[in-house]
Amino acid sequence: MSAPRSRAGADAIRPPQAIVLVEDHPELANYLGQRLREYAPVVIFTDAESALAHLRQLGCRALISDVGLPGMSGVELCRQIRMNANLAAIPVILMSAMSSDASRHAAMDAGATAFLTKPFKIGDLKAALATG
């Protein structure tokens, strides 16, 4: 009779989960995707609904989303993630060109791990990922 395999052992050989990036501006999405691939594979979506469907099936290491998206906003995406017990622990970094306190508070109230105002330095995003 063989010994049971430990779940931790199975997880240890799995590749790292991807970072999910939700950004509807192709140039920014491509730039951030290239820079983030230093840490993990990156999956890019242009809308929150597609990203949420992906998360429900595969999860992710971290989610980075623009606030202003077509359809569901990044803030609402964050709320949906926090309300799902299977996804709630995912670090969520929201980014926006809106630098108002109201935008920042809305993001943090939705459960965002961090909020970055565009334009930001790539080092700020990497720091948010490291602490997320």
Condensed to tens digits (0 to 9), the pLDDT of residues 21-67 reads: 999 999 999 999 999 998 889 999 999 999 999 999 999 999 999 99
pLDDT by residue (tens digit) across 78-97? 999 999 999 999 999 999 99
Q: Is the pLDDT of residue 14 over 50?
A: no
Angle between helices 122-131 and 26-36 in degrees, nearest 10:
60
Domains in the chain with CATH codes:
15-131 (3.40.50.2300)
CA dihedral 21, 27, 30, 34 (to 10 degrees): -110
Q: Give the residue from 51, 60, 53 showing the smallest Cα distance to 90.
A: 60
User: What pTM did the predictor assign?
Assistant: 0.86
What are the two backbone dihedrals, phi and then psi, of residue 108, each rounded to the nearest 5 degrees?
-70, -35
Q: Is the pLDDT of residue 11 over 80?
A: no
pLDDT by residue (tens digit) across 111-128? 999 999 999 999 999 999
What pLDDT does 80 receive? Answer: 98
3-state class percentages of the chain: helix first, strand second, coil last, to nearest 5? 45, 15, 40
What pLDDT does 16 receive? Answer: 57
Nearest-angstrom CA–CA distance, 22 and 51: 7
